[in-house]
Structures are given as structure tokens and as C-alpha cells.
Structure 1
């Protein structure tokens, strides 16, 4: 009887102590266990039963997935609708941040918060009336969680830091000049590459297609993104084969296509990013063989200088791996000031790509009375994209490729009068006037 009373008393005490455990505490428990802390010690620290802590850890994947949806951690109930909207916003925000990071564009907390709110409103509008009451303030608490999830560091840049970057950019060309003179490199032997995100189905905002993306259910062509890495030598006489990183390894459009026959180097990962592994693969298996063959065909010494920025996907140790390839890194946060491919090559390439894609669409519409721009655009696949990338890359001129070195290596740059970017933009927008939708 005494034993039964004790058991009953124990059950009663347990029922009284039972309380909801917030996601914040659950995440904290999971992190401590992942760090190697014993389950008994963690349970004692949070005044919980060992079995409760064990159950929480068994649900680790589910809990962390919900946290990624940015649901307030103080809540113990998951709001699926809000989670989906914010999750979509954070995915798009991460893509945007990645693009700015590769360009070494200084981002403040306020700028990121404003961008997050802007993307949230766009996603909310596309969700329709069911999400009309959803709100998002981009609070510091949200940013703190998002920062950890996205592995962001030093997002706030002060005036002194920006000033220091400018000073570093002013000093570095002389440092590079000394390296070039000491190594005896010519403009033919100096290369630069840079990555950029390409929304390969995105059209200018002034076209009806972009407007329809906000109103048509299931019509989200602008979100399909890939990463391109473009590069050439300082003389502008040789373009490297573009590296393309896509989210799918074997998309349907390439079902019967041999990837080695493509005019791009095809690689893939779920985020379509140039990671350390992707870059090292490209460097050893594509860049070195390609420039070695280029030097042999042009009867110049196989001695290459590769200029890179400090993007996260660029391994810091490449200079140690090949005796004939020297790698020089730009100073941190000087990409927008010095990176050659970022001084006009990538921007012009994207304009050529958009113009060429428009021309293809209009040609298809003109040749088939039943064809509309909308139907053509839905049928435009990744293989069409690859072909247009190749053609647009060929459109980038030698003069363009040489001129972008004017800040980094002015000694190699010939006379240049500038790019006709405004003319390209006007041509793109004028082609759709009076066209069928």
C-alpha cells in the first residue's frame, strides 16, 4: 500500500509539473547534446526528466526544420502558413545575400531588414487572401535566428571599414604590378574569374510577363536560378569556358544530351552555388588543362597568374598546388572596386543574354500564329538557356574584356570609350511593343 501511495503521489507531482517547452529551450537542449554534454546533466539543468530530453533529441530534425521556418521560438505551436511564407522569404533573401556577398557589397543590418520586409510582402501578395493578415517586422530577434541559420558574420559595415576598403583598393594595383613584373607575366597569361547568379527566366520588370508572375497561379519562372562563373585573360583575347552550377544534376531537358558536349562546364548542387568542392574541381580538372592547352596553341610559356576575390567558395590555399599557376587574392571588400569581371563584363553579358532570349521568343511568335510569348516562355528550358549563355558569352567583345582591367592593371588596357548599356536596354524593351501575350 505504501508503495502504491508513493507511485500515486509521484504521478500527481509529475502531472502538476508538466508544462509546455518552447522551441527556444528545445533548440538549446539539442545544441548542448550535440556539443557532447551528457543527457543526465542537461536534464538536471532544465529540470526535466531524462526521458523528456531523450524524446526532444529524437525529434531533432523535425524541431530544427521548424526553426528554419522562422516561427517565433517562444511559441510551442507551429503556424504552418506563417512558416511557409517566411521560409520562402528567407530562401530568396539568402540568394540575394549570397549575390551581394560574392560582390563584396557592404551590408548593414538595416539594409538586410528592409530587403527582408520587401521580399516578405512580395511572397505574401503571391500567397493571396489567405495570407492577408500575416505580418512580419524583421525584428532583431528574427535577424538573430536568421543570422545563425544562414551563417552570417560581420554584416554591419562602419564608415571607417568602407574607407579602409577604398584605401586597400588604391594600394593593391601597385602590389599586383610588382608581382607581374617579378614573374614576367604578359596580358595573355593573367586571368580573372567571377561568379554571378542568373535568374535565367527572369524578364525586365516592365514587361507583362513579370507582372503576370504576381497574378498567375503556379507561374514562377523568375525564381529558377543558376550560378555562372565567367572568366578571361587581361588581353581579352581568350575566354574561359563558363562554369554553370545548377540545382539539378540531370534535368529533363538534358536527358539525351552528353554534358561534356555542352558549351559550359556543368556541375550541380542543391543550392546551385559555387562551393569549395565545386571550385577545386573546376580549378584542377578544367582551368589548369584549359590554360595549359591555350599556352601551347599560342606558343607562350605555361605560366599563369589567376586573380581571385575572397568569396566563400574560393579556397585560400590554391597557390600551393601547381608550380605554373600562381593565385593572387584581392584584398577583402574590394571586389566592387577592382574585380575585372565585375566592372562591366558580367553586366553586359546579362544584357546580351536577355536581348538574345527576347529575340528567340519573338522569332517563335512571328513564325507561329498560334504561339504566344506566354506559351513560349513556359516551354523555354535549361538547354535553351545553356545555348543562349554560350551565344551571349561570344557576344562579349575583346575590347570589353580588356577594358575592365583599367583599375587593376592599367598598363594592359587599350583605349576604350565605354559600353552602350543604355542602347541595349532600349532595344530589349522596344521589341515587345504591340506583341501578342
Structure 2
């Protein structure tokens, strides 16, 4: 057994707890030897089972460590705001998040808060956020609506025209890009037209 300290991820801790559950009658010292862990570390992991399960539920299995925020209320308010504005189709970049965080900190009376780049990075990691490029108007219309329209209405429009009357025309429009090109969204979500799937 190595005398070096090991940092275990939440996944490692879950695997250890699973192994302990599979062999409940095995002595703690024997289990620790089998797993290559000091007995004190194994005892700590088993003793903190509920906390580990809650942490996995909140941060996910892939987190190496689960550090909580210094200003929990600020982050709760900010995450609620983030979910509301992204659901409404507003793109949120780091600058907007930083400004909102500073405003919320003032409202909550937090004087020592700095919405620095490091804070943004840690906030994104804690809440599983990432930047994604927003893709135009993709997915603004439900595909089933389009299929029904093509099968019914479109046929009545083109029935009276011959092949010599068919032309190709694309929609033209003036696009005013007022929102950021990239937006924060939860990892694993598609970022299309400001709408998250």
C-alpha cells in the first residue's frame, strides 16, 4: 500500500461504496487492503456516504472535487435568472453574467464580491455551463408542422403551375445582431437560435 495521499473523484468514491455494499460482511481492514486505501480513508468515505450521494446528485459523477460557492444565495439567484432568460431565448455571455452577478451582489449587500474571470470560470464549472456558438434560426419551427404543411397546403399552391413556372428564391432579410455570438448554456444542450433544446 502506497503511503502517498490519493485524491479520489466522486466516481471513485461511488465505486468504493458499491464494493463495500457488495460485501457487507467483509472487515473494514480487509476491504481497505483490497482497494489499496488506508483504513482511515475508507472509513471516512463510508461515513460520508449521504454527503457523497448528495454531492453526486448536485455536481454529477465526473467532478473531482465539489467546491461550493462562498456566496451561495448569490449563485442561486444568478442561476434562476440564467435559466429564465435563456428559456426566453436571450443569449447570455460572460460579460452579461458578470454584470448581473455584480448587480445581484449589490442587491444582497455583498461588499467584497468580485465577478472576475476566475469567478466566472469556477461558476461555469460548478453549474456545468459552457460557451456555444448560437446557430441562426435553427429549430424555430417544429419539424412536424413543416411536414404537415408540405403534405397539405403546399400541394394546393403548386398544383396550378407547370415546370416552366418554378424558380428558386431564398428568403432575404436584414439581420441585426444585437445579441452575443456565443452564449452560455448547460453542457449537452444544443444552442440554436438562442433556444436550448
Q: TM-score, normalised by structure 1?
A: 0.24
Higher relative contact order (CA 8 A, sep 6+): 2
Structure (1 or 2) with the greater helix fraction: 1
Q: TM-score, normalised by structure 2?
A: 0.46
